[in-house]
Amino acid sequence: KNEVEQSPQNLTAQEGEFITINCSYSVGISALHWLQQHPGGGIVSLFMLSSGKKKHGRLIATINIQEKHSSLHITASHPRDSAVYICAAGNKLTFGGGTRVLVKP
């Protein structure tokens, strides 16, 4: 069993739809990271959170420490949100396999 697991692996949505990506982890954490990797390959940090909820624009990240679970939500999705979203946790950052999101116009 991987220490950090994401679901789904792939997700296709129509523009405007609400998207949820899930991340479960079994490692101890001080913070959980959400990253975005665009088709060009570059990786950008979206959120780092250790409790509760964070919001940036149309992106919302939540974490439940007791359940060892985090979610990334995209509200009013747009084709430019098409990317791979990756969660990471643990003392030396173990990464999930990523969720490939495609938003169709």
Partner 1 sequence: NAGVTQTPKFQVLKTGQSMTLQCAQDMNHEYMSWYRQDPGMGLRLIHYSVGAGITDQGEVPNGYNVSRSTTEDFPLRLLSAAPSQTSVYFCASSYDTGTKDTQYFGPGTRLTVL
Residue number, 19 or 29, with CB nearest to partner 1 = 29
Residue number, 17 or 68, with CB nearest to partner 1 = 68
The residue ranges that bind partner 1 (CB under 8 A) are 2, 4, 29-31, 33, 35, 41-45, 48, 86, 88-98
What b/e readout covers 48-87, taking b as 16+ CB neighbours within 10 angstroms? ebeeeebeeeebbbbbeeeebebbbbbeebeeebbbbbbb
CB of 66 to partner 1, least distance (A): 19
